[in-house]
Amino acid sequence: MPDRSYLVEGARLAAPAAAPGLHIVATPIGNLGDITLRALRVLAGADHVAAEDTRHTGRLLAHFGIEVPLMRYDEHRAAAQRPKILAALEEGRSVALVSDAGTPLISDPGFRLVAEVRAAGHTVHAVPGPSAVVAALSVAGLPTDAFFFAGFLPPKSAARRGRIAALAAVPGTLAFYEAPHRLAATLADLSDVLGDRPAAVARELTKRYETVETGTLPELAARYADDDTKGEIVVLVGPPGDTVADEDAARDLLVEALRTMPTGAAAAEVAKRTGLNRRDLYTLAIALKNDRS
């Protein structure tokens, strides 16, 4: 019988048995403080935890004082493991699926499992929490009303450029995951294919060396060209309308905003509405004010 409890800041708390079915449990993308109380209760209360990497997840569970039988569910063993998980659910058990970090299924294994579990008539419970793409969107200052998560781009440049071109007309912010050793090449291709769009490189989110660099794609491509960047990275690219080609529209918005706001606030407001660079808009606002006087 597993010890259904977990540790939070030195306090050991009892976990109720998790409801029968498959629980899709998000885990931190760096900062362990981002685990949710519900995630801890479900992980401690589940009959089994299916993990992409059992050693990695074992360390997470040990940190929170959780003892629960672990089974591996990664790309290689997925097909062999699915019938075992389905059999456990058939017996009325609870299984929690976790990946190494963030939300399972988001550029991580689990999609086929969820489809099969649903098809077999079992309940799939969402236990939401961190995901790098949402964390990046929340801090980059690019439009978030519509976004397209494109996962990892192909590693080879020709295929990568083709994929980027296929995404060029998507009317929303584009979001990519990228490995650090490919960042410079990817930014160069994004810049060549998409031109002067606003963009952001979000690195090591929630961790000690978190950085979020913003600028146009050519600026970021130049900044990272000779950089041996390390860590985990999300690249965001603003929508097609938010390019320098839209300067006329931005100019009109600025003229309007400058009627009622000081220069800095007007630039910030138009930056928020268009996704264009605030400093560029500030310079334009100063020029417009000088023209007027």
| Residue 202 is a binding residue for ligand SAM (CB under 6 A) | yes
31: phi > 0 → left, psi -120 to 50 → alpha, else beta; which? beta
Binding residues for ligand SAM, rule CB under 6 A, total: 24
What part of residues 111-150 is at the interface with ligand SAM (CB under 6 A)?
131-133
> Do 183 and 235 meet the contact criterion of CB atoms below 8 Å apart?
yes
| Residue 229 is a binding residue for ligand SAM (CB under 6 A) | no
Range in contact with ligand SAM (rule: CB under 6 A) among 137-145, 173-181, 216-224, 257-265? 173-181
Tokens of residue 215, six digits: 């600028």
β-pairing, 211-216 vs 198-203, is antiparallel
CA nearest neighbour of 142 among 281, 268, 273: 273
Other beta carbons within 10 Å of 188: 20
Per-residue mark of binding to ligand SAM, 233-272 (x: CB under 6 A): xx--------------------------------------
What secondary structure letter does DSSP report for 181? G
The number of residues making up the chain comes to: 293
Minimum distance of ligand SAM from residue 151's CB (angstroms): 8
Q: What span, in angstroms and rounded, lies between the C-alpha atoms of 252 and 239?
A: 19
Minimum distance of ligand SAM from residue 231's CB (angstroms): 7
Q: Using the rule CB under 6 A, which residue among 106, 114, 170, 268 binds ligand SAM? A: 106
What part of residues 29-58 is at the interface with ligand SAM (CB under 6 A)?
29-30
CA nearest neighbour of 61 among 25, 88, 86, 106: 25
Between 4 and 23, CB nearer to ligand SAM = 23
Q: What span, in angstroms and rounded, lies between the C-alpha atoms of 242 and 255?
A: 18
| Closest-approach residue to ligand SAM (CB) | 102
| Residue 214 is a binding residue for ligand SAM (CB under 6 A) | no
What secondary structure letter does DSSP report for 123? -
| Residue 206 is a binding residue for ligand SAM (CB under 6 A) | yes
Angle separating helix axes 263-274 and 278-292, nearest 10 degrees: 130
Q: Using the rule CB under 6 A, which residue among 39, 167, 178, 237 binds ligand SAM? A: 178
Q: Using the rule CB under 6 A, which residue among 5, 36, 81, 107 binds ligand SAM? A: 107
Tokens of residue 158, six digits: 């020709």
Radius of gyration of the chain (CA): 23
Alpha-carbon dihedral sign for residues 40, 42, 44, 49: negative
Per-residue mark of binding to ligand SAM, 58-97 (x: CB under 6 A): ----------------------------------------
Range in contact with ligand SAM (rule: CB under 6 A) among 5-13, 104-112, 113-121, 239-247? 104-112
Site residues for ligand SAM per CB under 6 A: 29-30, 99, 101-103, 106-108, 131-133, 177-179, 202-207, 232-234
